[in-house]
A and B are shown apart, each in its own frame.
Chain A
Amino acid sequence: MTVTTDTTFRVRQDRRLVRPNSHSERFLLARIAAPRATAEHQRKPVNLAIVLDRSGSMSGEKLRVAKTAVEEAIARLQPDDRFSVVVYDDKIDIVIESTTASQESRRAAVDRLRDIEARGSTNLGEGWLRGCEQIARHLAEGGVNRCLLLTDGLANVGITDADELAHHATELRARGVSTSTFGVGNDFDEHLLQAIADAGGGHFYYIADAPQIRDAITSEVGETLEVVARDVVLEITARDDIRVEAISPYRVSGGGNRTFVHVGELVSEQVLEVVLRLSFPYGLLDRDTGAIVALTDRDGVFSTAGTAATEPIRLTWTYADDRANDAQPRDREVDRAVARQFAARARQEAVGRNREGDYSGARHVLESTAKRIRAYANGDAELRELVDSMVREEQVFSAPMVEPARKSAHYAAANLLRSRDSQGRSVRRA
């Protein structure tokens, strides 16, 4: 993949002044636009495992549509790609061992898929790990190795602990195998599936009704075929007494004066926004302090030297007195992005409280976040509208909600936090 001129990387500061006698918090908005995938032959080889829940609750339309979706996904692969299919209830069956996507193997796969019937309970953990094992046996070093895990229920056999499963997802991602998850209906645990997808470097999809299974799997497989940069990492270099956090839900690592924000892989023309918060130490009036933000990835798309679009970005803040701080201009684009992130987090927390029956708690979370946003909204129409909509939502979240409404609200917020659209798809350049 070559770097094209449409690759862009920008970082904006909400404010440029900080206070000498208190710990100022300032926000950064990083906007990353991936290049367009060029010719078909340049695309990375794909190594997929599709892991289907065939526990009793999947019987009927859900399993039927899921099987169709798998057939369609396999049909899109090239002969150099690989795939496997695993089904699980309390037992795990490797329906199709990892194979290259030749015409014969694809045809054989369709036949075997037809025989799958629903039964039993849900060993989600082992089903998923067996799918990952199929991928790992033929790991595509330069490619995208992705396990797709579909379920409509809770993990109730085998490894069921969410932290443990998320831990394995992190470890597998570090070893080149990523995971995306698909939750169907009302009875799955979106926190578990979201955690596996986040830790696993993939995506989580909420599927309210069986017919949408096809759309979600088609979209995810399509994106897997269009990955242009893997292991994209934002590197922030700053004094080590400046604390750097990601507000957007990406994994953060680092030490000393360098922080790494792992944003995962980007598909052709994908646009991603990442919000960061910096907390500054006390400092002397008029003194400058800085940070350098760089973008790297495993394929060298962003780190290739010599392209002005992806040069490291140098930012400066100046210690100034309170009057200057109070009067300083704000970058409203950053304010809005920050407000959207905090509003989305508040909505997710409100969903959780609502499920627990803590209705006043749900209202309070929205109220206090709306209040904080109002404090800096001033005349900004978009921020005021966000505040108004949160106030309206207080009514919804402070009364019992039906489960699909909770899942939808959680999903909408989850997508917003990760720069994805309402269907869970990557946002692309217009």
Chain B
Amino acid sequence: MPDGRYALNQLADLASVTPRTVRYYLAQGLLPAVGQSGPGAKYDDRHLARLRLIRRLQAEHLPLAEIRRRLDGLSDGDIRELAGASEPSAPDDSALEYLRGVLAGTPATQPRRLPQPGLSVPPPMRALAVTDAPVAASRYEPSSVPEFSPPGVADEPAPYASPPMVPPSFLPSMPAPSPMERSQWDRIELSPDVELHIRRPLGRAQQKQVDRLVAIARELLEEERP
């Protein structure tokens, strides 16, 4: 939606955060202010993308001050890309170039392949990751791992063929933990003020319990309701 306009509650719902969190980020200057404040305020896709990126960086356990610093250097386009809001994009070569490649027996694009598991996180986001948390930890930020593959998605020309320029500060600044580390503590933010600490790995049943706990806790911590 090019000029989507969201009410506070809709924006919060779409980003899977509470309205209270949105207000907090607005007050902290992490989200741009809107002209009109109060219940009539309207937010757009820039807010949604920014909110999603903040949540993602928070899942990397970055403090808000650091997140703000990083966001400051990014254009709206960078933020959209990093937030995983991919728009259908036009291919680089023309139909004629493509056909000449195919007819010469050297396909310009390789035939369709199944998505590789390692590619499920777009390259820019992998550059962002400062820890190599297990997949289960990112379940609370489902945006970081596309968890389904809609029919035909494999037909899409590689959406991340040309990753946007990422400022150097986004490159990994910490060594990734070695795969030999068998257990680690993960922090899950339940609200801007409350965190849950969990030692990984968890059993399947335990993981389900934690999922429920997080869902319930997040709802409880939300003060206002639509």
Q: Which residues of A pack against B, CB within 8 Å?
A: 126, 129-130, 132-133, 135-137, 139, 145, 163-164, 166-168, 170-172, 174-177, 199, 233, 235, 237-241, 243-246, 250-260, 262, 282-284, 286-290, 292, 294, 296, 303, 305, 312, 314
Neighbour of A292 across the interface among B4, B142, B156, CB < 8 A: B4
Additional pairs, 12, CB under 8 Å, beyond known A253-B88, A262-B88: A129-B103, A136-B94, A164-B111, A175-B98, A239-B16, A243-B147, A250-B152, A254-B153, A257-B52, A282-B212, A284-B216, A286-B225
Chain B interface residue count, CB cutoff 8 Å, equals 52
With a CB–CB cut-off of 8 A, which chain A residues contact B169?
none
With a CB–CB cut-off of 8 A, which chain A residues contact B215?
282-284
Asked whether, in the complex, the Cβ of A175 is within 8 Å of the Cβ of B91, the reply is yes
Closest Cβ of chain A to B85, distance in Å, is 5
With a CB–CB cut-off of 8 A, which chain B residues contact A287?
219, 225-226
The CA of A134 and the CA of B112, in the complex, are separated in Å by 25
Neighbour of B155 across the interface among A199, A235, A239, A255, CB < 8 A: A199
Asked whether, in the complex, the Cβ of B96 is within 8 Å of the Cβ of A137, the reply is yes
What are the interface flags for B207-226 relative to A under an 8 Å C-beta threshold, 1 for contact and 0 otherwise?
A: 00000100110010000011
Asked whether, in the complex, the Cβ of A170 is within 8 Å of the Cβ of B155, the reply is yes
The CA of A244 and the CA of B153, in the complex, are separated in Å by 12
Asked whether, in the complex, the Cβ of A256 is within 8 Å of the Cβ of B85, the reply is yes
Asked whether, in the complex, the Cβ of A136 is within 8 Å of the Cβ of B95, the reply is yes
Selected A-B contacts with CB under 8 Å, 16 pairs: A139-B95, A171-B98, A171-B157, A172-B99, A243-B147, A246-B151, A252-B151, A253-B86, A255-B122, A257-B15, A257-B52, A260-B88, A283-B215, A287-B225, A292-B1, A296-B2
B residues 132-182 touching A (CB-CB < 8 Å):
142-143, 146-148, 150-153, 155-157, 159
Neighbour of B148 across the interface among A174, A243, A286, CB < 8 A: A243
Closest Cβ of chain B to A87, distance in Å, is 17
Closest Cβ of chain A to B218, distance in Å, is 9
With a CB–CB cut-off of 8 A, which chain B residues contact A243?
147-148
User: Provided the pairs A175-B91, A252-B151, A253-B156 are in contact, do residues A289 and B96 lie with their beta carbons within 8 angstroms?
Assistant: no
Closest Cβ of chain B to A287, distance in Å, is 7
Shortest Cβ-Cβ A-B pairs, 7 listed: A175-B95, A256-B84, A136-B95, A252-B150, A136-B96, A284-B219, A255-B86
B13 at the binding interface (Cβ < 8 Å):
yes
B93 at the binding interface (Cβ < 8 Å):
yes
Closest Cβ of chain A to B27, distance in Å, is 24
With a CB–CB cut-off of 8 A, which chain B residues contact A241?
16, 142
B10 at the binding interface (Cβ < 8 Å):
yes
What's the count of A-B pairs with C-beta under 8 Å?
Answer: 144
B74 at the binding interface (Cβ < 8 Å):
no
Asked whether, in the complex, the Cβ of A167 is within 8 Å of the Cβ of B155, the reply is yes
Asked whether, in the complex, the Cβ of B14 is within 8 Å of the Cβ of A239, the reply is yes
Asked whether, in the complex, the Cβ of B152 is within 8 Å of the Cβ of A176, the reply is no
Asked whether, in the complex, the Cβ of B112 is within 8 Å of the Cβ of A172, the reply is no
Closest Cβ of chain A to B4, distance in Å, is 7
User: Provided the pairs A168-B102, A251-B155 are in contact, do residues A240 and B111 lie with their beta carbons within 8 angstroms?
Assistant: no
Neighbour of A312 across the interface among B1, B16, B142, CB < 8 A: B1
Neighbour of A256 across the interface among B86, B93, B111, CB < 8 A: B86
The CA of A191 and the CA of B52, in the complex, are separated in Å by 41
With a CB–CB cut-off of 8 A, which chain B residues contact A172?
95, 98-99
With a CB–CB cut-off of 8 A, which chain B residues contact A252?
150-153
With a CB–CB cut-off of 8 A, which chain B residues contact A257?
14-15, 48, 52, 85, 143
User: Provided the pairs A171-B109, A174-B90, A284-B219 are in contact, do residues A239 and B95 lie with their beta carbons within 8 angstroms?
Assistant: no
Q: Which residues of B pack against A, CB within 8 Å?
A: 1-4, 9-10, 13-16, 48, 52, 83-86, 88, 90-91, 93-96, 98-100, 102-103, 108-109, 111-112, 122, 142-143, 146-148, 150-153, 155-157, 159, 212, 215-216, 219, 225-226
The CA of A166 and the CA of B152, in the complex, are separated in Å by 11
A175's closest neighbor in chain B, by CB? B95
Neighbour of A290 across the interface among B10, B84, B216, CB < 8 A: B10
Asked whether, in the complex, the Cβ of A233 is within 8 Å of the Cβ of B88, the reply is yes
Asked whether, in the complex, the Cβ of A254 is within 8 Å of the Cβ of B86, the reply is yes
Asked whether, in the complex, the Cβ of A251 is within 8 Å of the Cβ of B152, the reply is yes
Closest Cβ of chain A to B80, distance in Å, is 9
Closest Cβ of chain A to B113, distance in Å, is 10
With a CB–CB cut-off of 8 A, which chain B residues contact A284?
215-216, 219
Asked whether, in the complex, the Cβ of A237 is within 8 Å of the Cβ of B99, the reply is no
With a CB–CB cut-off of 8 A, which chain B residues contact A239?
13-16
User: Provided the pairs A167-B111, A240-B16 are in contact, do residues A174 and B91 lie with their beta carbons within 8 angstroms?
Assistant: yes
User: Provided the pairs A175-B98, A240-B142 are in contact, do residues A163 and B111 lie with their beta carbons within 8 angstroms?
Assistant: yes
Closest Cβ of chain A to B114, distance in Å, is 11
With a CB–CB cut-off of 8 A, which chain A residues contact B4?
237, 292, 294, 312
With a CB–CB cut-off of 8 A, which chain B residues contact A254?
86, 150, 153
The CA of A299 and the CA of B122, in the complex, are separated in Å by 30
Asked whether, in the complex, the Cβ of B99 is within 8 Å of the Cβ of A139, the reply is no
The CA of A241 and the CA of B17, in the complex, are separated in Å by 12
With a CB–CB cut-off of 8 A, which chain A residues contact B99?
129, 132-133, 136, 172
The CA of A111 and the CA of B85, in the complex, are separated in Å by 54
Asked whether, in the complex, the Cβ of B14 is within 8 Å of the Cβ of A238, the reply is yes
With a CB–CB cut-off of 8 A, which chain B residues contact A137?
96
Closest Cβ of chain A to B139, distance in Å, is 9
With a CB–CB cut-off of 8 A, which chain A residues contact B88?
233, 253, 260, 262
Closest Cβ of chain B to A362, distance in Å, is 23
B3's closest neighbor in chain A, by CB? A305
The CA of A132 and the CA of B92, in the complex, are separated in Å by 18
Closest Cβ of chain B to A100, distance in Å, is 18
Closest Cβ of chain A to B203, distance in Å, is 20
Asked whether, in the complex, the Cβ of B95 is within 8 Å of the Cβ of A132, the reply is yes
The CA of A289 and the CA of B13, in the complex, are separated in Å by 6
Asked whether, in the complex, the Cβ of A253 is within 8 Å of the Cβ of B143, the reply is no
The CA of A176 and the CA of B88, in the complex, are separated in Å by 14
With a CB–CB cut-off of 8 A, which chain A residues contact B91?
171, 174-175
User: Provided the pairs A129-B102, A256-B84, A256-B86 are in contact, do residues A294 and B155 lie with their beta carbons within 8 angstroms?
Assistant: no
